């Protein structure tokens, strides 16, 4: 069996090499970063969305926004095909596709007044494409905002000890923002103190548990959407930035503990290297490329890079460590998830009265695609394996479980309010394009974002799980968004007479794989007579093909120009 420490070491070294070679090449030769060029945070400063931010703070916001639960749940299910294909896709995808995608989206937004990539598609490709792209983006964010209330509520249900720390983080973050931005205290020292306070609450809850009143999923969804409205309309320095800065420290602690656990226990991989005949599992190709999203490439990232991060970037030179470096770090997190699920789980898995170890533990957790595919199973696989690894550092298992539960819930909450803010930008851009400027203002646009998500969430009843009906489409739509974003970036490079090969190859690959996956989804929806998903899928496919055709026409014209 391959040792987990060897895989962790090789992956970490590969990411360091990639950052200092391919990342720097892209920065100098392709995106041509210029430190002297003014950023939108300076030229459009408003104290709410456009705020020049210290690079380390913005990195924390950017990373926690793009990560969410994506690099956890994707690898935690993809490992059922074997750890090797999942690991290869994470490494190659993050270095040559995801990081390029995130970097490119941020750069073209920085060069165009901090506008989102959906809005910029109109200038770069054509006016019709702008509306097509914004509709696809609206649909994707609509599902994200509606579904992540359910995700967080589910984490609260699986790990009730995470509820108090997650909500306690909000006043801590507000206090951190006040101390840093109003009193001028150090980001670093204040952030460390705030994080220590949060960890003190976590440890106290783990060691001295108390029972909170039971809250239904529907009520949690309602509370979380109200929170998302408030958080996404506040100035970014009031809650979003400081909360994400604390989460960045959480990430560092979690990854450090997982890495120490791998070093100390260095368990072998009990997951098979390849398992193409897992019970109930669909074909590895193309499903792998939409199952593992955030750890390799994710369309949602282009919205963060061009939607919030570009509005807060202080210097163009900060774009590479924030966007390219942030994606590589997310890839490393996905690698650690593979190790937790493929090796850590073998250290012990409680199933009823039996404690399973080794391959028996993995087989019990991943006995079939259906058993491993639910949200609870994915999170449980990671948390169980991570707890086993972290306990090797001497931290009690109960405390380790609480740390991981809060870690997952906190990142999901970041995705929720960032997605709501992004949806506000999209609604605003659509409203302005349709000459309805009143609807494009902050509060009306946010209301539309939240109320539309609320209607979807409660469309099937009071449990707030209505978005689950559309969830089967999200994986393909999200990855399709990544391919289309690469199309926009590629045409922008062509217009500026810059070589396009380094974005065109990932673009073609992602559009082909997601188109293939969407075709398989449509065939399944037809067999199941699920005409709602079939109809929505057909519409999205038509929008995609229309946008691709228009993009190819523009590229052909640019190639003919001398």
Q: Residue 504, Cα to own-chain centre: how many angstroms? A: 23
Task: Give residue 367's pLDDT.
Answer: 86
pLDDT tens-digit map of 16-31: 999 999 999 999 999 9
CA–CA separation, 96 and 511 (whole Å): 15
The domain ranges of the chain are: 4-469
248 compared with 8, residue with greater pLDDT: 8
Tens digit of each residue's pLDDT (9 = 90 or more) over 289-312: 999 988 899 999 999 999 889 999
Q: Would you say 225 and 188 are in contact if contact means Cβ atoms under 8 Å apart?
A: no
pLDDT above 90 as % of the chain? 54
* Residue, of 103 and 417, whose pLDDT is higher: 103
Residue 562 pLDDT more than 80?
no
Distance separating the N- and C-terminal Cα atoms of the chain = 57
Q: Is the pTM of this model over 0.75?
A: yes
Q: Which of 195, 335, 305, 303 is nearest to 251 (CA)?
A: 195
How far apart CA 542 and CA 536 sit, in angstroms, is 10
Angle at 214 between CA 208 and CA 216, to 5 degrees: 140
């Amino acid at each position: 069996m391959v040792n987990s420490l060897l895989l962790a070491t090789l992956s970490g070294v590969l990411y360091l090499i990639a950052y200092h070679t391919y990342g720097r090449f892209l920065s100098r030769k392709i995106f041509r970063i210029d430190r002297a060029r003014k950023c939108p945070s300076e030229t459009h400063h408003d104290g709410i969305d456009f705020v020049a931010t210290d690079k380390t703070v913005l990195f924390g916001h950017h990373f926690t926004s793009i990560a969410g639960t994506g690099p956890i749940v994707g690898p935690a299910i993809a490992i059922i095909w074997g750890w090797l294909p999942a690991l290869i896709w994470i490494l190659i995808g993050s270095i040559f596709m995801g990081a390029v995608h995130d970097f490119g989206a941020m750069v073209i937004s920085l060069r165009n007044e901090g506008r989102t990539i959906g809005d910029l598609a109109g200038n770069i490709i054509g006016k019709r494409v702008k509306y097509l792209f914004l509709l696809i983006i609206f649909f994707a964010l609509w599902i994200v905002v509606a579904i992540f209330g359910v995700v967080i509520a589910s984490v609260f249900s699986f790990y009730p000890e995470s509820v108090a720390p997650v909500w306690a983080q909000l006043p801590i973050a507000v206090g951190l923002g006040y101390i840093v931005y109003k009193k001028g205290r150090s980001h670093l020292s204040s952030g460390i103190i705030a994080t220590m306070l949060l960890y003190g609450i976590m440890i106290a809850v783990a060691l001295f548990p108390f029972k909170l009143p039971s809250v239904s999923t529907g009520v949690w969804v309602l509370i979380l959407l109200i929170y998302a409205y408030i958080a996404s309309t506040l100035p970014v320095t009031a809650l979003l930035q400081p909360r994400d800065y604390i989460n960045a420290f959480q990430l560092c602690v979690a990854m450090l503990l997982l890495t120490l656990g791998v070093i100390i226990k260095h368990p072998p991989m009990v997951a098979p290297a390849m398992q193409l005949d897992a019970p109930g599992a669909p074909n590895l190709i193309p499903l792998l490329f939409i199952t593992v999203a955030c750890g390799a490439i994710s369309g949602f990232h282009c919205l963060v890079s061009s939607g919030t991060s570009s509005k807060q970037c202080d210097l163009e030179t900060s774009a590479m460590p924030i966007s390219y470096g942030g994606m590589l770090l997310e890839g490393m997190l996905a690698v650690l998830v593979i190790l937790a699920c493929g090796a850590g789980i073998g250290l012990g898995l409680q199933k009823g009265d039996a404690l399973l170890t080794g391959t028996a533990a993995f087989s019990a957790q991943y006995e079939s695609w259906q058993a491993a595919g639910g949200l609870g199973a994915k999170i449980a696989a990671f948390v169980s394996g991570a707890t086993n690894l972290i306990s090797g550092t001497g931290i009690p298992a109960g405390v380790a479980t609480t740390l991981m539960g809060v870690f997952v819930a906190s990142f999901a909450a970041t995705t929720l309010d960032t997605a709501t803010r992004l949806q506000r930008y999209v609604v605003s851009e659509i409203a302005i394009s349709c000459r309805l400027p009143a609807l494009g203002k902050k509060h009306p646009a946010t209301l539309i974002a939240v109320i539309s998500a609320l209607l979807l969430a409660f469309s099937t009843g009071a449990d707030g799980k209505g978005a689950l009906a559309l969830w089967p489409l999200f994986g393909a739509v999200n990855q399709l968004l990544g391919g289309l974003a690469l199309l926009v970036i590629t045409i922008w490079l062509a217009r500026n007479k810059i070589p396009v090969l380094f974005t065109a190859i990932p673009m073609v690959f992602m559009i082909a794989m997601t188109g293939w996956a969407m075709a398989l989804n449509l065939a399944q929806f037809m067999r199941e007579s699920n005409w709602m998903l079939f109809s929505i899928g057909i519409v999205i496919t038509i929008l995609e093909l229309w946008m691709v055709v228009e993009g190819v026409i523009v590229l052909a014209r640019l190639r003919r120009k001398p």
